[in-house]
Amino acid sequence: MNSSAAVTPDPGLEIIFSRCDLAHPLLREFHEAVRVFRERDQRGQRDHAGAPVDGPAPQASERPPAEMPEAKPDLASLVHRDAELVSPPDIFLQIEKVINDPRSSARQVAHIVSQDPGLSAKVLKIVNSAFFGFQQQIDTISRAVTILGTRELSSLALGTSVMSLFRESPSSLMHMGLFWEHSLACGICARLLAGFKNFQGLERFFISGLLHDVGKLIIFKYLPRWSEIVLRSVRDSDLFYYEVERQHLGFDHAQVGLALAEQWKLPTTLEQGLGRHHEALRVPPSAEAAVVSLADTIVNALGLGNSGERRISPDIIHIFEFLSLPVGIMENLVPLISRQIEETFHLFYSST
């Protein structure tokens, strides 16, 4: 593939690949696919606070925070201190209870979802969107359950409920629209990658991608001043977000996400995606975490949304290899992600 001169200056691209050796042919190929997309799509030109990525660095980065950061908590206390986080959203619990009962029927699941008019309306809009790409209009929840299956409905209920739980920004430092755009794009990409691999249970990969960075929101909520320090350090150093978190807090958002997944007794696939998306190839390697990790890297590189990460890991090539996926898959993948995120973001993110 040709490495051509940039037609439009893209200051973000250089930062994103700053820890990658572009002499590696596969990384060069990936870089080129990303460059072509970003040249057409200007979404990647904004940072985590929604400001232009090449704008002046915040003045605050030159002085210490106005207030002393919070006392450092231990990891376990972060998830346990919030009544809303002690158990998963009620609708998800109800659906899972029915699914796990061998005497249950799809009709019962449809009944539970129908009890929540807001959720029902949202689910129907999503079911009829490019996210699933059905030709026929699906106009009732019972039909949606029949066509999609109870697991898919349960995942949609969990995903949309968690998005509502964290809809308001826990900190002025993070643009929540961009955060959820990044998360949704990651879920969409993880689902597509798992589909390419013919993995079972695509909805689990979607939800894993959607929630992979939720630990950041919990840290933002309870440790806003530490979060400010972390964001500054990420901006002013060449470290990855999780490395900076470990440096300052002694733990990272993936560990917080894992603690939440354990607390909520979420399936292992989700635990792997939330807890290991920055260490997918650590022995023993995890295919679930690798899919989420690759999806996270791809959407970060493309600049779809933003959750504070500034750089991609050169490990992406090992993950492509581990999953036996060619970099050339980007040609098929990128238009699909782009179309699905464009058509569905407002459906997932809307408050109604």
Instruction: Give contact residues for Fe ion (rule: CB under 5 A).
Output: 213, 296, 307
Based on CB atoms, which residue is closest to Fe ion, 288 or 296?
A: 296
CB 287 within 8 A of CB 323: yes
Nearest distance in Å: CB 218, Fe ion: 13
For every residue of the chain, which 3-state class applies, written as one string? CCCCCCCCCCHHHHHHCCCCCCCCHHHHHHHHHHHHHHHHCHHHHECCCCCECCCCCCHHHHCCCCCCCCCCCCHHHHHHCCHHHHCCCHHHHHHHHHHCCCCCCHHHHHHHHHCCHHHHHHHHHHHCCCCCCCCCCCCCHHHHHHHHCHHHHHHHHHHHHHHHHCCCCCCCCCCHHHHHHHHHHHHHHHHHHHHHCCCCCHHHHHHHHHHCCHHHHHHHHHCHHHHHHHHHHHHHCCCCHHHHHHHHHCCCHHHHHHHHHHHCCCCHHHHHHHHHCCCCCCCCCCHHHHHHHHHHHHHHHHCCCCCCCCCCCCCHHHHHHHCCCCHHHHHHHHHHHHHHHHHHHHHHHCCC
What is the closest distance, in whole angstroms, from the C-beta atom of residue 293 to Fe ion in the complex?
9
- The minimum distance between CB 323 and Fe ion, in angstroms, equals 18
Residue closer to Fe ion by CB (options 110, 185) is 185
Find the shortest distance in angstroms from Cβ 234 to Fe ion. 12
∠ Cα 298 304 307 (to 5°): 90
Q: Which is nearer to Fe ion, 269 or 307 (CB)?
A: 307
In the complex, least distance from residue 183 CB atom to Fe ion, rounded to whole angstroms: 7
Q: Looking at beta carbons only, is 75 or 106 nearer to Fe ion? A: 75
Select 113 or 261, whichever has its Cβ closest to Fe ion.
261
Report in angstroms how near the CB of residue 186 gets to Fe ion at its nearest: 6
Burial of 203: CB neighbours in 10 Å, binned 0-12, 13-18, 19+: buried
Least distance CB 166 / Fe ion (angstroms): 14
Compare residues 85 and 189 and give the one whose CB is closer to Fe ion: 189
* Least distance (Å) between residue 256 CB and Fe ion: 10
- Judged by beta carbon, residue 89 or residue 209, the one nearer Fe ion is 209
Pick the closer one to Fe ion by CB: 96 or 213: 213
